[in-house]
Every structure is written in structure tokens, then in C-alpha cells.
Amino acid sequence: MLEDDSFNSENKYDKILIIADPHGLINELKEFIGNMQELYGNTIAYCIQLGDFWKGRNVVFGKKTFNFWKDLTAFYDLPFPIYCIKGNEDINIPDEWWKSGMISLLPNLQDFMLEDFRVIPIDYFEEDPKFYKKMGIKKFVRLSPPPKFMQDQYYPFYDFEPRDDVEPHPVLTSEEPIDFVLSHVPAYGLLDKTRDAKTHKEIRFTGNKFIRLVIDRRRPKIVFFGHNHFANYQIFGDMLVISCDKFVRKIPAWADESYLSKKSRKRRHFKKKLKDKSKKKDKDEKNLFSYCLIQKTEQGQILEMYRCDKLIFRYDINDKNILLSRV
């Protein structure tokens, strides 16, 4: 957590939150917002939410559950706006739900200024010929990879052959510099061979080729996505790629973050205790939150990444410099 009270007093709304995959746990979201206000006061300008907002699967009291939030009145007393993109769990949500109180959708596949940052939001979509026709894409062209000694740098993976009957979408042709690409699912190949910050599970050969094409052509400073419930980052040349972890994870009230390890003795111990229904006090849970925080400081813009309330990464956006890494 950054602390710079002298700067905050002159710049009230100097912080931005980024979260992914709430999966319908809106009471927990409001708890998180309360926590952020305790930490930072009224200095948060807005929150960006990367999809799977209204519903999804969660582990509650050690069991997989499906949560679906339907109370739209919950969003009228939020202290700052939440700007959303759609995830795969959101595709059938009525349009009017996204206009509830302080909740709204970011304009899909448009580059625009979101206060200080030029962004491209990309909603979840089903890949099919109709979508690619609308985008003006006849076919994808796989580019040759660079030599191995250059593959730690960013290199374009795709180009495309345009259609004769439909103009390419402006998001593919504009030369306007971009700060952030915001998507629910990852772009193809951008986090291959990296590992989750806590589970160390490797991610390989996953992602969406259209999103990779947008990134290859527009070269944003930072790419943010969710969906994989995976916390990590990767630096490609002058581009930062952030995989945001699932927003909230629940653990027993007596446990700590190490409980989330699949090999944890605490996890096995808790499952045994659940069999004894009389031990209700051991069934209390607490929430651990994962998120990113961008803060404007006198020196520039700083990005922090938290997994289960623990700071794991800090990055200077202006200087493109890693200040801290615990991944």
C-alpha cells in the first residue's frame, strides 16, 4: 500500500481499482469497498471490473456453489462508479441491469479516454465467422516467431487479411497510442510458461487470438484480463501483461493465506472439522481479496497488484520499471 497523504490532500480522487471475476458475491464486494475506504478514504475515482460480475461458481464452506446476484438496489449506495466489461457468465444478463446505480458497461471495442487513460475494453464473445466478418477479418495470418534469444521481448503473433466487403474495425487500424487493453479472457500466448503467484500452476497455450491481434496492432502499455483465476504478470519489452486473480476467495476464520495451497494441512484439517456439525465456530469464514490498484503520485503513476490481500507486485507505469516482485 502506498502512503502519500500530502499528495492525496491536493488530489482527492487519485486511485483506481481493478478487479476480476466477482462471480455474484456482491455482499463481499461491498465489504471490499468498505475496506478500501478505510485504507484510502474518499480518494478512489472508480473501479474497473473485468467480467463474470453477476454470477458464477465459488467455493463456500469448502463446497462448490453457484451464486447469482439479482438485487439491483445494492448498487445505488456505492461511493464510486464501477465500470464493467462482460465475461462469459454475463452474456445473458439483461442490458438494463448494467445501468443500476453506480454500475455501467464500458463501450465494447472502442478506444476512448477513461479519465487519464486511453483504453480498449473487450467484452467476452463467441468466436465465429459472423464476428470476424463484422471485424473485417477474412483470415488470420500467423507471423514468424523471432529467434529464441529475442523471445523475452514482445513480438507480434498475428496479422490479418482484410475482407473485400467489410472495412476493418477501427480498433485494428487506428494508430492512436493506447494505455490499457481490458478484457475478460486472456490474449493468446501472452502468459505462456508463467506460474500462478501462489499455486505455481503453469499456464500454457491458452487465450483468444482476436484479442492478441488487437494487442499486436495497438501495442498498449498494459494488458489486464481475468477469467483464469490466476495471479501473475509478464513483461514483454515495454509492455506489461497482468492476469488478475479471482476477486474473492473464502477461507476458515482461523486460517491464513497458506490454507489455499492444495497441499495445505490446514485445508485437510478444516474438511475433517466440517463433518462435525456441532463445531459451528469452525465454520465461520473470512474473505481474502485480489485486486490491482493504480495510484497517481508526484513521481508518476504506480500500479500495485494484490493477491489475497497481499502485495505481490509494484510497477512504475511511467518509467516502465518493476519496483517490487514477490511472484
**Residue 278 lies inside a defined structural domain of this protein:** no
What is the value of pTM for the model shown?
0.88
Average pLDDT over residues 39-53: 97
**Residue 67 lies inside a defined structural domain of this protein:** yes
Answer yes or no: are the C-beta atoms of 233 and 241 closer than 8 Å.
Answer: yes
Handedness of CA 62, 200, 289, 87 (dihedral sign): negative
Gap between the Cα atoms of 259 and 251, Å rounded: 7
Gap between the Cα atoms of 204 and 185, Å rounded: 14
Domain range for 219 is: 5-247+290-325
**Residue 276 lies inside a defined structural domain of this protein:** no
Query: Considering only CA atoms, which of 284, 300, 302, 277 is closest in space to residue 292?
Result: 302
Gap between the Cα atoms of 48 and 82, Å rounded: 6
Centroid of chain to Cα 37:
20
Integer distance in angstroms from the first to the last C-alpha of the chain? 17
**Residue 159 lies inside a defined structural domain of this protein:** yes
**Residue 252 lies inside a defined structural domain of this protein:** no
Q: How many CB atoms lie within 10 A of CB 284?
A: 10
**Residue 271 lies inside a defined structural domain of this protein:** no
Answer yes or no: are the C-beta atoms of 231 and 25 closer than 8 Å.
Answer: no
- Encode pLDDT of 88-142 as tens digits: 999 999 999 999 999 999 999 999 999 889 999 999 998 889 999 999 999 999 9
Q: Pull the grid cell for residue 143.
A: 507471423
Across-strand partners of 117?
114
For residue 277, the model assigns a pLDDT of 47
Selected residue with higher pLDDT from 13 and 250: 250
Q: Which residues contact 153 (CB under 8 A, 6 or more apart)?
A: 146, 236, 237
- Encode pLDDT of 236-260 as tens digits: 888 999 999 999 999 998 887 777 7
Number of domains composing the chain:
1
**Residue 277 lies inside a defined structural domain of this protein:** no
**Residue 281 lies inside a defined structural domain of this protein:** no
Query: Considering only CA atoms, which of 28, 17, 37 is closest in space to residue 81?
Result: 17
Q: Pull the grid cell for residue 246.
A: 479471482
CATH number where 312 lies? 3.60.21.10
SS3 269: helix
Gap between the Cα atoms of 33 and 74, Å rounded: 13
Q: Which residues contact 264 (CB under 8 A, 6 or more apart)?
A: 258
For residue 155, the model assigns a pLDDT of 82
